[in-house]
Structures are given as structure tokens and as C-alpha cells.
Amino acid sequence: MRLSKNLEYLKPSETLAISHAAQQRRSAGEDVVDLSAGEPDFDTPRIAAEAGIRSIQQGKTHYPPNQGLLDLRAAAARHFSLLSGGRPVNADHIVVSSGAKQSLFNTCFVLFGSGDKVLVPAPYWVSYPQMLRFARAEPVIVPGAPEWSMKVSVEDLERERDSLTRGLLFSSPCNPTGAVYTRAELKAIAEWAHKHEIWMISDEIYRRIHYGPGPAPSVLDLPDELLERVVMISGVSKAYAMTGWRIGLALAPGPVAKAMAGLQSHTTSGAAQASQWAAVAAFGDDRIEQDVDRMVEAFRGRRDLVEAYFRKEMAGVEFVDPVGAFYFFFRVDHLFGQEITTAAGFCERLINREGVALVPGDAFGDTRWVRLSYAASEEELNRALERIARCMRSL
């Protein structure tokens, strides 16, 4: 069967594939601890869930506005404004999509095309290069520095820039490392991008899950003159435990937002009404902030548990100190030899011999590292950590 050349570069999502495989093993009765998933293990806050249910009961089940409900865009604009010191945010510049993944895809498809190069700091979220290739653009991978929590500097970006460079796509807090760019670092990168007329796409879906004071630094904390070519991606999936509701948002300059809405009108159209009304409550009901705070504190405790175990039982294993998100990124290339030669090989051995599912760094552009998600109970984390340590000792 001959398929379209559009799929020439298509690779299924490794993170979803590993999570699915772990679920199948558990369904078959195997003792598997799955720490591969990139979603909170908490329930959606009751107030948001009830808002979604209420919208269905009220008959709000017809086609929604393509760009998103005005109520949701206004609630999101207010929310973003409050997180960044009260700066004005225009609700008309927000596009609501069926998940932040679609928001990212829309952005890449609208901004880039054949012959364009887009810088992607590595390790990167698994779908970034795929989305850029679907848009016919070329992802240019920029390795991060281990001594700088795998982040990139202006110097790193400038080394890879040439006359065809049109964009920069990255996340902060970062998936898969949990690293967070400081405001000064973001400002330096934004100034560099502005100087060279490069589009800066900042994926801030994990912004609220931050272990420093307040939310993580954002491009919205920067001066207006640096935001002329900036698109910020957000949503409700991570901080509000609403992954399955599929609501993402893009905040972009007016012409870009209009183009994304036009593109969306010919693909998915507007996101589901019930999900949007649930998101209105998530962004707009201040009582939900208590649920967010509780989740972040729980993640902080789990992060501390994992870090303490590695320092005590796996001393010498290099890892990124996570300041946000809910991932722990550690290095395994010191274990390479005849038996295993990549992080994928380590993860395969780990699940086959010890029953722990992690995601190899191969999926994120670096074969030396492994991602552990601590969006799991402390009991599961302790069981998994003991097994990981045993697997390492065997090598």
C-alpha cells in the first residue's frame, strides 16, 4: 500500500507507545510500575468538572465559535494577565484548540514552510520535530548543556543560526528535564530573536507547576517590544489535571491568531463546548487555585523523594534538578557496554527484568538520558526506585 509523502517523516509518539505497552502488560497481569505518562494522576477539580457537566445539561452541545468561546478567551486573558503582574492581554489574540498539541501544530503550520529552519533545543518534547516536518520546515537541533540543566544559551542558538532560520521552539518548564528558564535567560533569548527577526514559540503548558516562588517565568513577563514575533502556548491539561478534556490555547499577534483560526476552521473547527466551559471555570474560578496549590505541593514532595533516593542509593548518577513540571531526567550512559548501548536499551532491560516503564532519552533527542515521571503515588515511586537501583547495580 502506497501512502502519502506527507508521512515521510512520521514517527509515532514514543511516550504514548511506551505508556500503552505498559498498560497492556498490566492488563495481562504483569507487575509493572508505569512512570512513563506525561499527565497528572489527580482528578479534574470538581468545580471545573461540574461546569462541563452543567453545560451539557443546559444544551450547550452545538458547534462552538471556531476561535473559541469568548467567555473562555476572556477568562484565559485575565488569568495570564494576573500571572504576569497585571499586564494587558487581548482575548482576541487567543485561539482555543483541541489540546495544546494542536495549538502547537497550528502555530508551526501557519508560521513556517518549505526552506525554513527552526531551532529546537534538545532534549525536546517528542512531537516538536514531527510538527515542523509536517509544515515542511527543517528542525535544527541545538543540544543543551548538562552543566546548565540541559538549557541552551544565546551563544548556543547563534552558532546554529543562518539566513534560513525563521523560528525557535522550546518549552519552559521543560519537558523532559523539568528545567526552568529564568526571566533573565528568557529576556536574553527574546532580545536575540527580536534582533534577528526570528519567531519565538514558548510552550508554557507547565508554567503553574513550578517549585520556585509563584508561576514559572514567562515571555509575558517581558517588555511589549520583544513580543512582536512571540507565540505563547498554554492550556488546562497539566496544572488542572484536565488532559482528557483537550483544551489548548495559543496567544499570538493578531494576524497570526487570525490565520490559526482560519486554518482550524478547515481541520477540527472549535474545541468541544463542554470542555471549553470546564476550562472557563478552571481559569476563572479562584477557588480552583486551592486545588492547583495542593497538586503542586504533592509534586514537590514527590520530586524531593526521588532526588533524595538518587543521592543516597544511586550516588554519582547525574541528573537535572527539576524546578518545574513533574519529570526527573537522569543519565545512564555510564552503564553502556556490550549489553546495552543506548537509553532505549536500558529502558527495555528495566521493563523486562524489573517491571518499570520509563521513557528513553532517544525520544527526546539524547540517547544518554532517561525520563521518569513522578506523577504517581509515593508507594509506586518507592517500588520503582528500588527496582531502578537494582537494575543499575546489575550493570
Domain ranges within the chain, ordered by starting residue: 5-43+289-394, 62-287
Residue 5 has what pLDDT? 83
* Residue 15: predicted pLDDT: 67
Q: 22-31, 143-152, 212-221, 235-244 — which is least confidently predicted?
A: 22-31
The alpha helices in 93-210, defined as continuous H runs, are 100-111, 128-134, 154-160, 183-195
Q: Does the fold of domain 62-287 match that of domain 5-43+289-394?
A: no
Residues 6+ apart with CB under 8 A from 390: 354
Cβ proximity of 80 and 314 under 8 Å: no
Q: What are phi and psi of 122, to 5 degrees?
A: -115, 140
Answer yes or no: is pLDDT of 165 > 90. Answer: yes
Strands 327-331 and 248-251: unpaired
> Helix or strand or coil: residue 155?
helix
- Return the DSSP state at 216: P
Predicted confidence (pLDDT) at residue 41 exceeds the cutoff of 90: yes
Q: How far is CA 80 from the centre of its chain?
A: 18
**Res 3: pLDDT:** 87
Provide the pLDDT confidence category of residue 1 given band limits of 50, 70 and 90.
confident
Fold entry, domain 62-287? Aspartate Aminotransferase; domain 2 (3.40.640)
28 or 315, higher pLDDT: 315
Task: Determine the pLDDT at residue 121.
Answer: 98
Radius of gyration for the chain, computed over Cα atoms and rounded to the nearest angstrom: 21
Output the average pLDDT for the chain. Answer: 95
Contact 134, 105 (CB under 8 A): yes
In this prediction, residue 29 carries a pLDDT of 77
298 Rama class: left (phi>0) / alpha (psi -120 to 50) / beta:
alpha
Q: From residue 304, give the alpha-carbon distance in Å to each of 208, 322, 328.
A: 18, 10, 10
% of the chain exceeding 90 in pLDDT: 91
- Does domain 5-43+289-394 fall under CATH 3.40.50.1820? My reply is no
51-84 confidence digits (pLDDT tens)? 999 999 999 999 999 999 999 999 999 999 999 9
